[in-house]
Structure 1
Amino acid sequence: MISPDERFFSEGQGYFGLRENPATETHCNVWDWDQLRWIKVKGTAKIFPPGEDVETSVLAQFADYLSPEVRAITVDDDGLLTGVSTDPEEDDTFFIGYLPLSICQSLANCSTVYFSQLQELDRLGPGVDLSSYDGQRVAFKFNPLGMPLRLQMSWKEMNLLSKLPPHPNIIPFDRIGLEDVESRVIGFTTKYIPGGTLADADPKRPFRFEWLQQLIQLVDFLNLELWIIHQDIAPRNLLVDPETDKIILFDFDWAANGNDGLINGRDDVSGVVFTLYEIVTNDTHFTSIPHWERNKDMVQTIEWTCHRELDSDVSKFREFLNEWVAARTDKATEQYSNAPKRLTWPDLPTPPDYDVPFELGLTEEGETVWRTGGRSRRIALEKGQYCFRWERPPQSRLFKKPQNSM
């Protein structure tokens, strides 16, 4: 189940007047990762001040009880529901022109699975379901949002994972996920590994020295042989495979391929340092510091108070880590530039759907203004374009009898 603190996010507040005026009408678009839809929350600037995202907690009270047809809700200054709207004009969902598999030559050799074949078993997190097909369980990762950065990240991750050579410490890629009508690429599946991440692990379960060795060897392989920088190494992205008892790294959506997508402050050496510190000490406060303001010396130069069972003394972990960090720091630039097995794939193609023109108002002379490119789902439907719809019931209803909804 998706945790409550990850379920909603807001695009921010839109004010129809001065934001300093408490009576100013205010609209907020809130995304629900559980139901995979936008809901507009309307009220005043008094209850929705700038930057506080109060609208997410307001919507959380009602989200599971709203009809699927509801596009917007209105609340009073106490956050109490005063109205709902099913007007399609209230729907600001962005149209995503998912790519037909036929134009994705870099994915042509991948096995595929249709969305209708995937049976949902659980919702593991934002954009990740536990699913099954043909008797096997898989993690299904998908992107239901039309934001350009998310589309780029999704394209990069499925290409990267599908091209990585098999490795005992990398989550195995499974299949490309297709919608059923036009065989468009909507996500991908990987092997599902039960047991939760290291962020959720029982602190009484000993963390093994060999797992640190495996992680470091894996990072060297990715960085120095492939010039792949994961950029998000953290306990929440690490598993232990119960079948092999080996550590597994997943979630490559922030990964850089060479200098493409490289972000300052997110190097994997620092990632390993902060990861081991968090595992050993159970101190997570460094995760709240922006990556561009962190550096590994913050934890390498302080004492580590152990709050986790280890199979060796903490000094053994730290000595091994420090020696590796020193070796990597001395030759970082030279080693990267000599990566012998770099992976390649093409840039994200422009979906052909965006070439279809649509009307966008009138000129001063009364002539129609035509545009191509991105558009709302409402406009795409008006133009007769195919729109894959992600909306689904809240998980709380999946195994319950239907109840009255608003």
Structure 2
Amino acid sequence: MDWDRRRWLVVRGPESYFVSESEEPRAIEVFRQHLDDLSPNVRSMTVDENGLFVTIIPEPKHPWDERVEMPYRLLETDYPRLEDAKSLSGLPTVKLSELEVVERLGPAEDVVRFKDDHDRKAVFKYYFTEKGKEQMWNELHALEALSPHPNIRAIDGLVLEGEESRIVGFTAKHVASGSFAGDEDRLFKLDWAKQLFDTLDSANLEKGISHGRLTPASLLMEPESDKLLLWDWGAATRRRSSTADDDDGDGDVEAAVFTLYEIPTRDYGRRRDKMSSSERLLKTKRWPPAKRGSRAHDLRKLLEEWVARRKGLAEAEGGGARSRRAEDLTAAWPDAPLRRRVPKRKRKKKKKKWN
């Protein structure tokens, strides 16, 4: 998948070439090597036993390429119409044609500016796969249910495209400072940890919503207010009933432990270790040396106190009490609209002619 140009690429070749001891698949190696030389309309390529091109097959131009300035619909996706999303009808809207890409932040997330006001920037989150559609739907409703909150970046507006006003994504405030994922020099303040714990408590215990994908990349710092912002709610889930098997926030507690371990230590391997867990991590006597001035010891102590408190609440209350508070979200957070089926035209059966 070429996330930058929003297209699938298929690499074919002899089986002997693709058998490799390298951690990175050979198909990705080919793609990485020839990325800058490939035309934007290439969809398939065939290589020989040495990884050299044999054939390159372009894909026919899509009919909407003339109509949409930013080709966000290169993959076949059923975008819901605004009129079918009654639960989102109260949100402000902006047309896709009114936005202009400034920078690509990551897969399906861009910095854009408004064409009528170049000084006004926003983050544009979008999707172009069916899986992304469900995640976008959940993120929109999670943010609606949790806002306003001082540590959650709210929705600025739904982004609509086409005459049928189909929802292709949403905009939110642009935070230029970026996340904690790629900033090796930024120290993590204890106040930010407290803000994170309060935000997760509010989401998990009061609203019955789990973030589901907490990592250093999910945390932003707003320079103007010096506040921590919890972002990226695409994996958010809600509990429907006291008997549901949905995550009740324990997954967020687990993820918070790994996240606040990774930020000061820069050790990202523990989360990928299948044998690792937040409990085992907290029992580890010594964590790797942290960046000077990070107050890693105080941060760990604060984290351990919060985890113990959450564990105590879970044992005392159980899932039912929190789930009953979350049942009110069912009407405000319906399931995503089903994919619209285009009725097939009935073909007239041709009568056989006998000679």
TM-score of the superposition, structure 1-length normalised?
A: 0.72
The change in CA–CA distance for 1:80 and 1:301 in structure 2 (over 3 A counts) is same
Deviations 1:134-170 (A, max 9, x none): 3421111111123xx3322121111221332211111
Within the candidate set 260, 264, 287, 1:304 is matched to: 287
Q: Matches of 1:224 and 1:87 in 2, distance apart?
A: 49
The residue identity in structure 2 corresponding to 1:76 is D
Task: Report the counterpart of residue 27 of structure 1 in structure 2.
Answer: none
SS at match of 1:200: coil
The answer to which of 104-113 and 342-351 deviates more is 342-351
The change in CA–CA distance for 1:144 and 1:266 in structure 2 (over 3 A counts) is farther
Deviations 1:371-403 (A, max 9, x none): xxxxxxxxxxxxxxxxxxxxxxxxxxxxxxxxx
Task: Report the counterpart of residue 357 of structure 1 in structure 2.
Answer: 344
What is the root-mean-square deviation of aligned Cα atoms in Å?
2.9
The residue identity in structure 2 corresponding to 1:280 is P
Larger relative contact order (Cα-Cα within 8 Å, sequence gap ≥ 6): 1
The change in CA–CA distance for 1:99 and 1:284 in structure 2 (over 3 A counts) is same
Matched, 1:56 2:45: no
Within the candidate set 97, 113, 127, 2:94 is matched to: 113
Q: Matches of 2:149 and 2:248 in 1, distance apart?
A: 27
Q: CA deviation at 1:285?
A: 0.9
Q: Is the 8 A contact 1:175 1:188 kept in 2?
A: yes
Q: Matches of 2:224 and 2:245 in 1, distance apart?
A: 34
SS at match of 2:288: coil
The answer to which of 67-76 and 130-139 deviates more is 67-76
Within the candidate set 273, 288, 297, 2:257 is matched to: 273
Q: CA deviation at 1:79?
A: 1.0
Within the candidate set 210, 219, 242, 2:223 is matched to: 242
Within the candidate set 136, 146, 149, 1:164 is matched to: 146
Q: CA deviation at 1:181?
A: 3.6
Task: Report the counterpart of residue 81 of structure 1 in structure 2.
Answer: 53
What is the percent sequence identity of the aligned residues?
Answer: 34
Q: Matches of 1:57 and 1:181 in 2, distance apart?
A: 41
SS at match of 1:154: helix
SS at match of 1:175: strand
Structure 2: runs of 5+ lacking an equivalent:
62-73
Q: Matches of 2:258 and 2:43 in 1, distance apart?
A: 42
The change in CA–CA distance for 1:279 and 1:177 in structure 2 (over 3 A counts) is same
Q: Matches of 2:146 and 2:249 in 1, distance apart?
A: 24
Structure 1: runs of 5+ lacking an equivalent:
1-30, 367-406
Number of corresponding residues: 322
Task: Report the counterpart of residue 209 of structure 1 in structure 2.
Answer: 190
Q: CA deviation at 1:265?
A: 9.8
Q: Matches of 1:268 and 1:243 in 2, distance apart?
A: 27
SS at match of 1:239: strand
Within the candidate set 181, 186, 207, 1:226 is matched to: 207
Task: Report the counterpart of residue 128 of structure 1 in structure 2.
Answer: 109
Task: Report the counterpart of residue 18 of structure 1 in structure 2.
Answer: none
Q: Matches of 1:119 and 1:210 in 2, distance apart?
A: 36
Higher helix share: 2
Matched, 1:32 2:13: no
Within the candidate set 321, 333, 349, 1:338 is matched to: 321
Q: CA deviation at 1:232?
A: 1.6
SS at match of 1:306: coil
Task: Report the counterpart of residue 348 of structure 1 in structure 2.
Answer: 336
Q: Matches of 2:198 and 2:99 in 1, distance apart?
A: 35
TM-score of the superposition, structure 2-length normalised?
A: 0.82
